[in-house]
Chains A and B, each alone.
Chain A
Amino acid sequence: MTQVNLTIDQLDVMAEEGTTILQAALANNIYIPHLCSHPELRPAGICRLCLVEVEGQLLVSCSTAVAEGMVVQTATLEVEKIRRLAVELMVAEHERTCLSCGKNNDCKLQEICRFVGVDEKRLASLQPAERKLVDSSHPFITKDESKCVLCGICVRTCREIQGAEAIDFISRGYATKIGTFGARPLQESNCEACGECVIRCPVGALLPRGFARPSREVETICPFCGTGCGLFLGVRGDRIVSVRGNPGHTTNRGRLCVKGRFGWTFVHSQERLKTPLIKRKGRLEEASWEEALELVTAKLGRYRGEEVGVFASAKTTNEEIYLTSKFARVVLKTNNIANVAHLCHANTVRGLLPVTGSAGMTVPVWQIKEAACLFVTGCNPTEAHPIIGLEIRQAVRSGAKLIIANPREIPLCRLPHLRLPLRPGTDLALLLGIAKTILEEKLLDEAFIAERTLNFDTFKASLEKFSLAEAEAVSGVPAERIREAARLYATSKPALIFWSMGITQHSHGHKNVWALAHLAMMTGNYGKAGAGVAPLRGHNNVQGATDMGATPAWYPGYQLCPGYELYPRFGKFASSKEKFEAAWGCELPETPGLSTVKQFNPRARGWGGPEMWDLPQKIKAWYIIGTDLVNSVAGSHGVRQNLEAAEFVVVQDIFLTETAKLAHVVLPAASFAEKDGTFTATDRRVQRIRRAVTPPGLAWPDWRIICELAGRMGYGDKFAYQDPAQIMEEIASVVPLYGGISYGRLEKEELRWPCYGQEHGGTPVLHVDRFLRVEKGEFWPLEYELSPELPDEEYPLVMTTGRLLPHFHYNMTAKVEGIEALGGKDFVEINEEDAAALQLKSGDMVRLVSRRGSLLSRAKVSKAILPGVVFKPIHKGAVNLLTSADFIDPMGTTPNTKVCPVRLEKA
């Protein structure tokens, strides 16, 4: 960087070339009043308050670059005169109710007035005729136009930071104001309610609703999706009163989405479980911990091995999930330990083990912007992983190519992109089409394939018969477009592939995942910054749930259980049973366990040999932690039936979920804000969460409940922990990937697994010189496969499901009034052609019918979805009554949720 010498108010100053006069002055502790300038935004030069004089010329210092020998004067008579007039005109229009304003003492206009000095007498004659109305129609944002100074920071934030561009200057002259398209209320525009404009508003024109200034702040991690954004909970007394993004966190750099910024009030919801509940005569009644724990110990203690199923919660901490996994195996002697990953990314996790040895996102979230090509398929990051959505927007704005394969026009489609509008369930045909093109046009990374992978020829041979014509016929995407995507992907490096449920929730989901990993291997997109794969994990700690072995297939740390030697090349890892028997000091069960769907539908087909397809129901009791299975499992009717028929069900949760209502005993747990621990984000970063407030009523942290139960069942010595830090020490001792992780290090270091020891600095980029665990990546033969259940005359449409921006699943955000107001209405999205054929218009009541059930919703007619496809958000209306749990993936056991034939009837 070249340094430039200049003088500001007779002081010699050095500044980097390209910085502005304002930046140079502020960096040298010389204050120049400024209002529209913001360090994170490009200069706009709107407010004219930062005028300075340079050699007799008046210049706007926020948009003038420094130059060698420049002589700057910030306070000449001329400058001060003009500046005062500008401030007076601004203040005259401004509603001066400072003491009651939410920005009092934190207001840029106050700061400027203090510096410039304003004469109230001169202002009196300039009072505006009428006070403009305060708009408080938005659940989270108050907009007071009479305080707006038209600096445009909100407009530029929406454009430059968020990329939503929902607001702009509207009208002209004296009538100019900030508004949305058609001057509609914010909530009716494409505003994403992230609140980024609110936190940057220099005055009180935009304020968050329901926030108060905290008396202390606690640094922690967001409890919603798997992105793992850092935030500060503002606490006053024993209540959370505000949230702000952690500017020093490399993932979100201070940004938050609507859920993270405004969704925290669920913590203090009146509906939180405050005492244990015991079902007596069919009704759940309040009980003491003593009664509840005694009952659970006596009843649950009767079942062992195959008779009992345990669910760990992807919302709890690594320490708690580790204990759940240990509790199931040590105390209940069962491998029937499952978590919701089996409904989502198990196809990725188990699927990628034999391919690349690990399914972790290969690069940190902050490296997304270094990718030259982003292939986004089967996911909708803007709504489901909003901060990752922002990183993608930023990458595309700085020139990265974007390929979107999705039956729906997702919000990212507003960016320049190449769209592959495929029919649901035909991903594999499309991906093989891309692979075939890469092969035919020799866009391969031959050296990478030769040095770093095995069995490429087997994969190549499996593609011989496959043609682009077939890819087009099956997926509905024109062959030429597939070729274009292949060229774009293979020639723009580094390339990063994003996927989520659209890829995995198929009974052949692991093949989709293989195809994606193969594309990355063919083009050498592994082991480099900004390259590889990014399976976006849904829950805050579903990555941790997989890492901590809440699955029948492995103990904590992907160390395999007996009966799961599915991968020939893992011979030497065959079973870690002996290792864990030694570590945990007792005998562990031998019988292979069942994962989520199989526990409730033992007749599900696909996984294991045919002898495993038609199992009898052996499970008589369940211990379910923080998982609303009745809503989330495909074919949810079966879950309800099983739980109703079970001899004993314990549910441990923070709310009385639909699942908890079926329990015999309900145990109240602490939320993320009420305990210490760690979450592992989608990019493998292990992060501390910290207790900010006390749990409501009698609620306990999950780890304490598990330890208490284990103690009562006779395993007190193996569950004697003082605090979560101690549990992490044990994790580090048995899980090599977490070997170097400790609370002490997490205080000051950014650690991503694998982190093998105290000296190991963690692994930002996976597979750099060799693939984790398998050394060499392995190609597998792939052939196109149809979904097991296809539309027919009776059920002509395909239903696919997904998330909406404001919501997180069924319980947490549903308890947040504002989020309900923003996105509470249920709908089923249908293409305009299909709607016309059914004589439907938006808002019509419809009945959605599948082979398994029906539900009522309202039609939302749209151009943004392919004909023949309907989209149903998962958050309301028990959508899994319609989906099927009959067919599951042979590797990941994930059900076929994303292709569900339905018909739509006018109701």
Chain B
Amino acid sequence: MAETETAIQSKVNAVFSSFKGTENELLPLLQRVQEELGYLPQEAMLEVARFIHVPESRVYSAVSFYSQFRLKPAGRRHITVCRGTACHVRGAEKIQETLERELGIKEGETTADLEFSLEAVACVGCCALAPCIVINGEKVLGRLTPQKVQRAVQKVKKEEGRQDAQKDHPCEPGDVL
């Protein structure tokens, strides 16, 4: 999902066409740009800063303050680990640690092949399934154990190896993860 500089430029310019270029448009602009690009690359933030005449440090300050903004592209499988109270009591920390170890990334990061990204959030609202994780905001996997998580990640990785890497849909039906 990483874009070339020109592609970023043209998408960002398209977003700008529906804005006036004033300072108070900073947050809606960033939201729209992120909708287009999936994240906020530095080039895009610089363009936003130029467009609304605010210093680039202030744009970065806002982006790093709000958890809704992403500085890196999300993986094709964006994994949200619930760290809410119920999940916490039932070992969410271990689930996150396992994911971090298996994927080789830390919370908030994306794998180099852009396949997985990992994010910790507070309660996702299905405490009955604790501990749980959510894939791409729609598929919930519950009552997990570190072993289940490990097996699931390894299975997907193995399939990745067999399958054509070009598949477009982020989460095939039947995939556990």
Contacts and interface: CB of A to CB of B under 8 A. Distances in A.
A219 interface: no
Given A181-B45, A182-B42, A172 B56 contact: no
Interface string B54-71: 011111110011110000
A416 B60 contact: no
Interface string A178-195: 011111000001100000
B64 A170 contact: yes
A342 B33 CA distance: 53
B139 interface: no
B72 to A, nearest CB: 12
Interface in B27-63: 42, 45-46, 49, 53, 55-61
Nearest to A863: B50
A171 B65 contact: yes
A166 interface: yes
A854 to B, nearest CB: 31
Contacts of A833: none
Interface in B113-162: none
A182 B49 CA distance: 13
Contacts of A183: 60, 64
Nearest to B58: A168
B21 to A, nearest CB: 12
A189 B65 contact: no
A169 interface: yes
A159 B55 CA distance: 9
Contacts of B53: 414, 416
Contact of B60 (A159, A172, A181): A181
A145 to B, nearest CB: 15
A152 to B, nearest CB: 11
Given A170-B60, A171-B64, A165 B42 contact: no
A183 B64 CA distance: 10
A181 B65 contact: no
A167 B57 contact: yes
A652 B164 CA distance: 74
B57 to A, nearest CB: 4
Contacts of B57: 165-168, 179-181, 189
Contacts of B56: 181, 190
The listed residue with most B CB atoms (<10 A of its CB), out of A159, A165, A166, is A165
Nearest to B42: A182
B86 to A, nearest CB: 23
Contacts of A172: 64-67
A417 to B, nearest CB: 10
The listed residue with most B CB atoms (<10 A of its CB), out of A166, A182, A189, is A182
Nearest to B56: A181
A165 B55 contact: yes
Contacts of A159: 55
Looking at chain A's contact residues, the main secondary structure is mixed
Contacts of B46: 181
A165 B49 CA distance: 12
Nearest to B59: A181
Given A165-B55, A190-B56, A416-B53, A170 B61 contact: yes
Contacts, number: 48
A182 B46 CA distance: 10
Nearest to B54: A165
Interface string A194-229: 000000000000000000000000000000000000
Contacts of A170: 60-61, 64-65
A168 B61 contact: yes
Nearest to B66: A172
A182 B60 CA distance: 6
Nearest to B53: A416
A180 B64 CA distance: 11
B45 to A, nearest CB: 7
Nearest to A416: B53
A169 B62 CA distance: 9
A172 B64 CA distance: 7
Contacts of A414: 53, 55
Nearest to A191: B57
A723 B64 CA distance: 61
B66 to A, nearest CB: 8
A433 to B, nearest CB: 27
The listed residue with most B CB atoms (<10 A of its CB), out of A166, A170, A180, is A170
A420 B95 CA distance: 60
Contacts of B45: 181-182
Contacts of A167: 57
A365 to B, nearest CB: 25
Contacts of B59: 181
Contacts of B61: 168-170
A632 B60 CA distance: 42
B58 A165 contact: yes
A170 B61 CA distance: 5
Interface in A153-175: 159, 165-172
Contacts of A168: 55, 57-58, 60-61
Contacts of B67: 172
A248 B138 CA distance: 65
A179 B53 CA distance: 19
Contacts of A171: 64-65
A181 B71 CA distance: 12
A190 B58 CA distance: 12
A179 B67 CA distance: 18
B5 to A, nearest CB: 11
B69 to A, nearest CB: 11
Contacts of B60: 168, 170, 179-183
The listed residue with most A CB atoms (<10 A of its CB), out of B46, B53, B56, B59, is B56
A179 B56 CA distance: 11
The listed residue with most B CB atoms (<10 A of its CB), out of A168, A179, A190, A414, is A168
A165 B64 CA distance: 17
A309 B135 CA distance: 81
Nearest to A177: B64
A371 B49 CA distance: 28
Contacts of A416: 53
Interface in A414-445: 414, 416
A190 B60 CA distance: 13
A651 B57 CA distance: 48
Given A179-B60, A190-B56, A414-B53, 16 more contacts: A165-B57, A165-B58, A166-B55, A166-B57, A169-B65, A170-B64, A171-B64, A171-B65, A172-B65, A180-B57, A180-B60, A181-B42, A181-B46, A181-B55, A181-B59, A182-B60
The 3 closest A-B pairs by CB, nearest first: A165-B55, A168-B61, A181-B56
29 contacts: A159-B55, A165-B57, A165-B58, A166-B55, A168-B55, A168-B60, A169-B61, A170-B60, A170-B61, A170-B65, A171-B65, A172-B64, A172-B66, A172-B67, A179-B60, A180-B57, A181-B42, A181-B45, A181-B46, A181-B49, A181-B55, A181-B56, A182-B42, A182-B45, A183-B64, A190-B55, A190-B56, A414-B53, A414-B55
Interface of A: 159, 165-172, 179-183, 189-190, 414, 416
Interface of B: 42, 45-46, 49, 53, 55-61, 64-67
